[in-house]
């Protein structure tokens, strides 16, 4: 190959190499352009503006994005861009931005500033500016370059998140909710400070360990909770919700309501359990009080029904018992049998009154009384029934002031307390001690917080018997609660006592030590007025004269009243149907001198029948009776014009005395009766 051919081939190869290098250059240029385009898009998306400052001339160059960030256009710039940029900064941030940027540039150090930008329309934007001085080999500043990024949306998101977290924290704080977060994969658990404070602990006093919950929770509640947690983890329940008791730092139990949900990974496996603890101790107490109130209300309804029917039965038993006792010879064995029946009826009447009293359905008559005689009389009465192994001691202050009281109810209180003391000492004997003293009110005695009077009577009944356990002391005044054997207690006694003392405006407390004895303390406010007690008068009753209409749907009751009243001389007409009785009265209204009518009747209540009769004879003497009715009272019957009202069973003497008083024949002659 000659030299010309070699030169030609070499030129061809060089040309091909140049073409290849040119193609590579074009590709590089395209990549650079793509990169610039991507960079430009990234800058636009990130809302970043670029600027450059000449340190000698103070000339500034802005990118288009920077104009947008500052809310300006080139037409808005009347001075230098440097001045426009400074004035675009919020006035409150302007001095800070100037000081930081100048000091950093002089120190030839990069800097970053966060400040607000104020648009001409008043809009405020949050920005972050970064700047850096570019120097030559000698360290002289050639130019300063930097960026400005609009971070308003990010700031707003951060602020929204912070506010949300603060609201959540406040909500949890005021809701008294403790948080726990259990990582099932690592077994790590977090208890919030509130969670720990519910149990009286500081944050550093309980470690974040699952064993802490198990240690502080009642064992039986731990077992129940584990069953429910396993069901939650197995997908058998949507959420965990259980209440249990945890031990407080000071030793008492706290009722906790725990709620939790499980978080699952993509495979559906539970990985976390997040939940709350809420102290529901007070709510539990309120629920218990509500249940107690509902129980009392239900018992009251039941008591009314029992009392009506039961008192009708007792009225027959005691009424005919009373008649038989008058007729039988004193030394006959039959009379002793009837006396036993009569006394049993009185005991049953007492039980009915207990039911009505604790359900607060029996009306009370409060008068001012000295109760020293009552205490002494009840002790004298109980002495006859107690074994000689029980010693009775009394310390009764004769100078105690009177109280506003219903003596029959206080009699019931004392008998109940004496009886309980006897049962506590039954078998081994002991000491029953009763005291009555006056004490002055003391603000420091929290048990007397209900008493606002200057002084009160303090009555103490104590025994040296078996005592009451701490758990039973909390329930001792509950209806139907008894520590006695089956058949030895109704569970009504102390609930009745508690109810009576509260109705007298007083307080009852107790102290007891197992195997050492029990002491009941009763506090009743002293009365401000003097006693209005009167000496009892012997009642002298005359032979009956007059025609009495007796109306009751119970044939045995009308038969009893007829026998009782006819026996002392009254003419008696009886009806077991109130509608028929009213029709007869309307036909011959002057035939009867007095009406004795039951309130609860099948068709018309006794008060309605009485009103119809009073329309015909306004001054007609009427006595209304009832075994029990919640809608009738002495005040109501008096307002209707009915003169007298009796609860069954009725004592024969009181009934006859009332009849003769209404007929204007009181205190004439005698009436042979049993008291």
Bridge-based pairing of strands 547-551 and 571-575 is parallel
pLDDT at 42: 46
The percentage of the chain sitting over the pLDDT mark of 70, rounded to a whole number, equals 77
Bridging pattern class, strands 60-62 and 48-53: antiparallel
Phi-psi domain of 615 (left: phi exceeds 0; alpha: psi -120 through 50; beta: other): alpha
Query: Are 255 and 245 in contact, with CB atoms under 8 Å apart?
Result: yes
Residues 621 and 666 sit within 8 Å (Cβ to Cβ): no
How buried is 56 (Cβ within 10 angstroms: 0-12 exposed, 13-18 middle, 19+ buried)?
A: exposed
The DSSP-derived string for 507-561 is: EEEEEEETTTEEEEEEEEEBPSSPP----------PPP-SEEEEE-S-HHHHHHH
What is the pLDDT at residue 125? 92
Q: Check pLDDT > 70 for residue 305.
A: no
More confident: 563 or 445: 563
Confidence category of residue 595, pLDDT binned at 50, 70, 90: very high
| CATH fold for domain 291-356 | Helix Hairpins (1.10.287)
* Sign of the torsion angle spanned by Cα atoms 475, 478, 481, 483: positive
Is residue 620 pLDDT above 60, yes or no?
yes
Segment 277-286 shows an average pLDDT of 88
The pLDDT score that the predictor gives to residue 514 is 87
Burial grade of 277 (CB within 10 A; 0-12, 13-18, 19 or more): buried
What pLDDT band is residue 666 in, cutting at 50, 70 and 90?
very low
pLDDT for the residue 78 = 80
**Contact at 8 Å (CB) between 373 and 381?**
no
Same fold for the pair 175-279 and 291-356: no
Q: Report pLDDT digits (tens) over 230-275.
A: 999 999 999 999 999 999 999 999 999 999 999 998 888 999 999 9
- Mean pLDDT over 629-657 rounds to 78
Between 165 and 388, residue with greater pLDDT: 388
Give the C-alpha separation, 612 to 584, whole Å: 12
Q: pLDDT grade, residue 81 (50/70/90)? A: confident
Cα end-to-end span (Å), the chain: 163
Q: What was the pLDDT predicted at 436?
A: 92
The predicted model gives 640-655 an average pLDDT of: 81
Tell me what pLDDT residue 35 has: 54
pLDDT mean over 278-289: 84
Judged by DSSP in three states, 596 sits in strand
Q: What pLDDT, on a 0 to 100 scale, did the predictor assign at position 445? A: 52
Q: From the CB of residue 595, how many other CB atoms can be counted at a distance below 10 Å?
A: 24
Residue 531: pLDDT above 80?
A: no
Give me the residues paired with residue 263 across strands: 272
Gap between the Cα atoms of 648 and 390, Å rounded: 37
Please give the pLDDT value at position 303: 65
**Residue 575's closest CA among 593, 544, 542, 601?**
601
Out of 166-170, 495-499, 615-619, least confident range: 166-170
d(CA 16, CA 10): 10
- Residue 139 region by backbone torsions, left for phi larger than 0, else alpha for psi between -120 and 50, else beta: left
pLDDT at 446: 47
CATH topology for 175-279?
Beta-Lactamase (3.30.450)
pLDDT score for 498 = 83
Q: In Å, how far are 272, 491, 604, 631 from 640, measured between CA atoms?
A: 73, 39, 16, 13
Q: Tell me the range of 331-345, 371-385, 433-447, 588-602 where mean pLDDT is highest.
A: 588-602
- Position 314 scores a pLDDT of 78
For the segment 547-552, the average pLDDT, to the nearest whole number, is 93
Q: Would you say residue 535 has pLDDT above 60?
A: no
The fraction of the chain above a pLDDT of 90, given in percent, is 30
Distance CA 385, CA 347 (A): 15
Question: Residue 668 — pLDDT band, cuts 50, 70, 90?
Answer: very low
Better pLDDT: 517 or 171: 517
The stretch 608-628 carries a mean pLDDT of 88
Average pLDDT, the chain: 80
Sheet holding 571-575, edge to edge: 571-575, 547-551, 594-598, 622-626, 644-647
Q: Which residue has the tokens 């009347």?
A: 78
Q: Which of 410-419, 431-440, 514-523, 643-652 is the least confident region?
A: 643-652
Q: Which range, of 386-395, 412-421, 443-452, 589-598, averages the lowest pLDDT?
A: 443-452
CA distance 150 to 114: 10
Q: So where are the chain's domains?
A: 1-33, 46-157, 175-279, 291-356, 371-525, 547-662
Least confident window among 218-222, 430-434, 509-513:
509-513
pTM more than 0.85: no
- CATH superfamily to which 547-662 belongs: Response regulator (3.40.50.2300)
* 371-525 belongs to CATH 3.30.565.10: yes
* Highest-confidence segment of 233-247, 284-298, 462-476, 512-526: 233-247
Which pLDDT tens digit goes with each residue over 581-591? 999 999 999 99
Please give the C-alpha separations between residue 301 and each of 333, 342, 445, 620, 629, in angstroms, as whole numbers.
41, 28, 36, 33, 10
How would CATH label the architecture of 46-157?
2-Layer Sandwich (3.30)
Beta bridge partners of 635: none
CB contact at 8 A, 591 and 563: no
Q: What is the pLDDT of residue 310?
A: 73
């Amino acid at each position: 190959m000659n030299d010309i051919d070699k030169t030609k081939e070499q030129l061809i190869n060089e040309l091909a190499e140049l073409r290849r290098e040119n193609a590579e250059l074009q590709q590089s240029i395209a990549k650079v352009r793509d990169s610039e385009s991507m960079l430009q898009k990234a800058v636009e998306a990130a809302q970043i503006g670029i600027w450059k400052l000449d340190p000698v001339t103070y000339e500034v160059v802005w990118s288009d994005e920077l104009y947008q960030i500052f809310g300006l256009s080139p037409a808005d710039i009347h001075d230098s861009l440097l001045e426009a940029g400074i004035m675009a900064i919020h006035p409150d941030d302007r001095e800070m931005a100037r000081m930081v940027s100048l000091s950093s540039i002089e120190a030839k150090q990069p800097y970053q500033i966060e400040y607000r930008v104020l648009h001409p329309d008043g809009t405020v934007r949050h920005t972050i500016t970064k700047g850096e001085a570019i120097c030559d080999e000698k360290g002289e500043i050639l130019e300063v370059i930097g960026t400005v990024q609009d971070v308003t949306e990010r700031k707003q998101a951060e602020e929204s998140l912070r506010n949300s977290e603060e609201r959540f924290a406040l909500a949890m704080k005021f809701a008294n909710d403790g948080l726990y977060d259990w990582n099932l994969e690592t077994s790590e658990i977090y208890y919030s400070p509130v969670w720990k404070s519910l149990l009286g602990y500081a944050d550093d006093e309980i470690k974040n360990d699952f064993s802490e919950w198990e240690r502080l929770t009642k064992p039986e509640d731990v077992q129940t909770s584990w069953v429910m947690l396993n069901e939650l983890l197995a997908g058998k329940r949507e959420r965990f919700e259980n209440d249990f008791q945890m031990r407080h730092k000071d030793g008492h139990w706290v009722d906790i309501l725990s709620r939790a949900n499980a978080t699952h990974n993509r495979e559906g496996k539970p990985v976390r359990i997040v939940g709350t603890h809420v102290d529901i101790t007070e709510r539990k107490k309120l629920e218990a009080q509500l249940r107690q109130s509902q129980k009392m209300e239900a018992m009251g309804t039941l008591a009314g029904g029992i009392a009506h029917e039961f008192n009708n039965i007792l009225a027959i038993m005691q009424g005919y018992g009373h008649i038989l006792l008058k007729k039988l010879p004193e030394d006959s064995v039959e009379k002793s049998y009837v006396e036993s029946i009569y006394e049993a009826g009185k005991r049953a009447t007492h039980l009915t009154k207990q039911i009505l009293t604790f359900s607060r359905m029996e009306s009370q008559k409060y008068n001012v009384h000295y109760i020293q005689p009552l205490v002494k009389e009840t002790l004298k009465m109980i002495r006859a029934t107690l074994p000689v192994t029980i010693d009775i001691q009394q310390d009764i202050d004769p100078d105690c002031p009177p109280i506003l009281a219903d003596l029959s109810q206080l009699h019931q209180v004392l008998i109940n307390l004496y009886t309980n003391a006897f049962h506590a000492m039954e078998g081994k004997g002991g000491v029953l001690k009763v005291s009555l003293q006056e004490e002055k009110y003391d603000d420091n005695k929290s048990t007397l917080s209900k008493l606002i009077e200057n002084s009160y009577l303090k009555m103490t009944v104590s025994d040296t018997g078996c005592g009451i356990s701490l758990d039973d002391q909390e329930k001792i005044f509950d209806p139907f609660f008894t520590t006695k054997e089956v058949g030895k207690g109704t569970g009504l006694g102390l609930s009745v006592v508690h109810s009576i003392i509260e109705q007298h405006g007083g307080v009852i407390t107790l102290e007891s030590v197992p195997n050492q004895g029990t002491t009941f303390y009763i506090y009743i406010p002293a009365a401000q007025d003097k006693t209005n007690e009167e000496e009892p008068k012997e009642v002298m009753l005359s032979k009956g004269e007059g025609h009495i209409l007796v109306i009751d749907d119970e044939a045995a009751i009308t038969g009893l009243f007829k026998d009782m009243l006819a026996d002392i001389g009254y003419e008696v007409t009886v009806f077991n149907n109130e509608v028929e009785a009213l029709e007869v009265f309307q036909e011959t209204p002057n035939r009867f001198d007095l009406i004795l009518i039951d309130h609860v009747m099948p068709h018309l209540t006794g008060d309605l029948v009485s009103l119809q009769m009073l329309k015909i004879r306004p001054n007609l003497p009427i006595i209304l009776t009832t075994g029990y009715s919640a809608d009738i009272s002495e005040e109501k019957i008096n307002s209707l014009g009915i003169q007298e009202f009796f609860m069954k069973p009725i004592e024969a003497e009181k009934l006859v005395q009332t009849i003769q008083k209404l007929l204007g024949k009181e205190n004439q002659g005698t009436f042979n009766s049993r008291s």
